[in-house]
Chain A
């Protein structure tokens, strides 16, 4: 029974991995790609690790999987934040459908 629940988590994780990668290919500019990729791929890999933990149980193997989940949730938003900030500062243009950019307005106010 617990094996089937673990396989369900693994299959859901792989499905979300695929959606995230599809978003990485389809969306128009850097920031949107970063959104889709960071959220979906992090959730998918965490799902795979949780399924492995459910199948293996509380031995050293499963503990490593739990440690991996905690590590993914701590590091992946930080690296997304760093990449987005440096892309905006180095002047990567936003897509044509962009509505508003209040960050750029505030930076220009500070510069004056």
Chain B
């Protein structure tokens, strides 16, 4: 079975589940309509979901993905309390700036996940990604140091190990 076929079957199952969840699944007519609609969707746009084969083989890494999700939610709650403190302070104690960090991730999807989780965690916002040597430019609301290696450890270090285990 080729990669495209696997991807199409996965898209078919996911979109059928979404359809049945969005409509209240009590009727046989809705089931038939859902099967027809998800067949059309998987024929048109089904080949883009799976980029590499490994994700299907190692199914155990879904537990690591759940662990990553909980770490991410905890960091995000801390981020919101930090921003609320900064906004409510009368003097606005901010020291903004744009710094550069390096990352070892090679995959496109893992770099996207790293950039998105950096954006949603305390005081940092991804501005640009260099395609060739995988540098990330990050806007910090409170710059601690201007060294590249120290910033790599403090900003991206927490997520990078778990993301390398999940995606690569």
Contact = CB atoms under 8 A, between A and B. Distances in A.
Interface string B111-125: 000011001100111
A16 B97 CA distance: 25
Interface in B1-36: 18, 21-24
Interface in A96-112: 97-104, 106
B128 A85 contact: yes
A21 to B, nearest CB: 9
Chain B binding surface, main DSSP class: mixed
A19 B79 contact: no
A98 B22 CA distance: 47
A32 B84 contact: no
Interface string A56-86: 0001100110010000011001101100110
B21 A103 contact: no
Interface residues of A, number: 44
Contacts, number: 120
Interface stretch (B46-54, B86-94, B159-167): B86-94
Interface of A: 16, 19-20, 22-23, 26-29, 31-32, 34-36, 38-40, 42-43, 59-60, 63-64, 67, 73-74, 77-78, 80-81, 84-85, 88, 94-95, 97-104, 106
Interface residues on B, range: 35 or more
Contact of A77 (B88, B116, B123): B116
B146 to A, nearest CB: 5
A40 B99 contact: no
A34 B98 contact: no
Contacts of B24: 59-60
A85 B21 CA distance: 37
Nearest to B72: A73
B95 A97 contact: yes
A64 B19 CA distance: 11
B126 interface: yes
A100 B138 CA distance: 11
Contact of A22 (B18, B87, B95): B87
